[in-house]
Chain A
């Protein structure tokens, strides 16, 4: 059984503020991700890669289709699940490293990173230790750990985001351009972190702009142009 199975997803945006213009995004999206493999969504900008990732996470609604997530021995359709179920899946099963860190005022970096563990019931000290280890690995200087990340550079914020996304043991991880603002050294760190997750049996679905990174992590590339919306009749 695959960890994640996407079947026949359809998505069209209706822009009511522009007279109801309909923007089809993707159609009939179908693919699977197995545990321990990293599937990369490929294709040009605007093809709908990010939208697919967001639909898998439940951040975007779907017009039709299923997002089947393995929960124990069963498959749960996230696309039609009620909000509580989606939140439970996000807490226990699917993690997401977004492209930009959404900063919350006043919360320190170490707390931002530790939060996903604390929310799951881990002790604060233990969570802080794990958070510190990840931040150190990502070369974020310790003097920044007690500051809120709102004033950090793009690259620093991205590394906070990654640490926060990788700290848990989610069986499925979604990665949206995780290395976009990083230098070569840190890109390499992220590549090794992804490899480690793979070895741990985590199923990963990601978007990577950088060709080198993509080559290093991808087990398969799914070209999303195959899911281009049907041309208007």
Chain B
């Protein structure tokens, strides 16, 4: 964990008309740190993630990001070109539904290689080799490289989405319920993969989840949201093992033990 943070969020607020999405969220994120945003449906966690990743404009507040050049920029003040470039190179976004994060009618290899081609890579052999390497890392068989994701299972599509996001070596990855909708055994495999990749690549990640087990496994720190507000935050194991707030205690006690 190095000297300067990667992300500084200050009083981030987002309203939908008169309805509150999320309010007054502030935190810092360091390189290599995984932050889980946990809450139930309607807590504002998805609004927060979408605002943080600049998919939505905030009603108030700032999100300051330390660019690769070392310069701090408020992401809402970037030009559209700059923001699109950022999301293609230095950031990743893993959607809950992999179809939202993939080109379904284009081969797996092209899905992984697209970002490379978008930043100017013009060597077919090298692009294909990189795609093969990434497919291997996300445990997709090499002979599926020319198949379209339409022919993949949900777990495979999700792993492909992860590969597509990580190929340009992003420093920050947003994940929206990355294991939601997957079978339990598939979830376990995916979580383990995410854990490894985050560790190996030193990624900073912000993971939205309603599943506390995912938070415990993947994250260093956790924020609990309710009604648009962050009601408790801290070290993940501390929040889960010694919850202070009534709502947090309710959440933790609601997990079924198997």
Measured in the bound complex, the distance between the Cα atoms of B41 and A142 in whole Å is 46
Given the known inter-chain contacts A17-B249, A105-B191, A105-B192, please indicate yes or no for A61 contacting B238, CB distance below 8 A: yes
B241 & A60 in contact (Cβ 8 Å cutoff): yes
Chain B residue with minimal CB distance to A111?
Answer: B196
B192 & A106 in contact (Cβ 8 Å cutoff): yes
Interface residue? B253 (CB, 8 A): yes
Interface residue? A104 (CB, 8 A): yes
Interface residue? B221 (CB, 8 A): yes
Residues of A within 8 A of B235 (CB): 58, 83, 86-87
Given the known inter-chain contacts A17-B250, A83-B235, A106-B188, please indicate yes or no for A61 contacting B242, CB distance below 8 A: yes
Within B230-258, the residues touching A (CB, 8 Å) are 234-235, 237-238, 241-242, 244-246, 249-250, 253
Residues of A within 8 A of B237 (CB): 59
* Chain B interface main SS type: helix
Task: Kindly name the residue among B191, B235, B253 whose own CB sees the greatest number of chain A CB atoms within 10 A.
Answer: B235
Q: How large is the interface on A (under 10, 10 to 19, 20 to 34, 35 or more residues)?
A: 10 to 19
Interface residue? B33 (CB, 8 A): yes
Tell me the minimal C-beta distance from A112 to chain B in angstroms. Answer: 12
Measured in the bound complex, the distance between the Cα atoms of B195 and A31 in whole Å is 38
Tell me the minimal C-beta distance from B228 to chain A in angstroms. Answer: 20
Interface residue? B199 (CB, 8 A): yes
Residues of B within 8 A of A185 (CB): none
Within B197-247, the residues touching A (CB, 8 Å) are 199, 217, 220-221, 234-235, 237-238, 241-242, 244-246
Task: Kindly name the residue among B188, B242, B250 whose own CB sees the greatest number of chain A CB atoms within 10 A.
Answer: B242
B1 & A84 in contact (Cβ 8 Å cutoff): yes
Tell me the minimal C-beta distance from B77 to chain A in angstroms. Answer: 27
Chain B residue with minimal CB distance to A106?
Answer: B192
Chain B residue with minimal CB distance to A61?
Answer: B242
A84 & B30 in contact (Cβ 8 Å cutoff): yes
Residues of B within 8 A of A231 (CB): none
Chain A residue with minimal CB distance to B254?
Answer: A17
B217 & A58 in contact (Cβ 8 Å cutoff): no
Interface residue? B8 (CB, 8 A): no
Tell me the minimal C-beta distance from B213 to chain A in angstroms. Answer: 10
Residues of A within 8 A of B253 (CB): 17
Residues of A within 8 A of B234 (CB): 61, 83
Interface residue? B189 (CB, 8 A): yes
Tell me the minimal C-beta distance from A95 to chain B in angstroms. Answer: 15
Residues of A within 8 A of B188 (CB): 105-106
Residues of A within 8 A of B221 (CB): 83
Residues of B within 8 A of A107 (CB): 192
B217 & A104 in contact (Cβ 8 Å cutoff): yes
Given the known inter-chain contacts A16-B249, A87-B235, A105-B192, please indicate yes or no for A60 contacting B220, CB distance below 8 A: no
Interface residue? A88 (CB, 8 A): yes
Partner-B contacts on A (CB < 8 A) = 14-17, 54, 58-61, 83-84, 86-88, 104-107, 119
Q: List 24 A-B contacts (CB under 8 A).
A: A14-B244, A16-B245, A17-B250, A17-B253, A58-B235, A58-B238, A59-B237, A59-B242, A60-B238, A60-B241, A61-B234, A61-B238, A83-B221, A83-B235, A84-B1, A84-B30, A86-B235, A87-B235, A88-B1, A104-B195, A105-B188, A105-B189, A106-B189, A119-B199
In order of increasing CB-CB distance, the 8 nearest A-B pairs are A16-B246, A105-B188, A60-B242, A83-B235, A106-B192, A83-B221, A16-B249, A61-B242
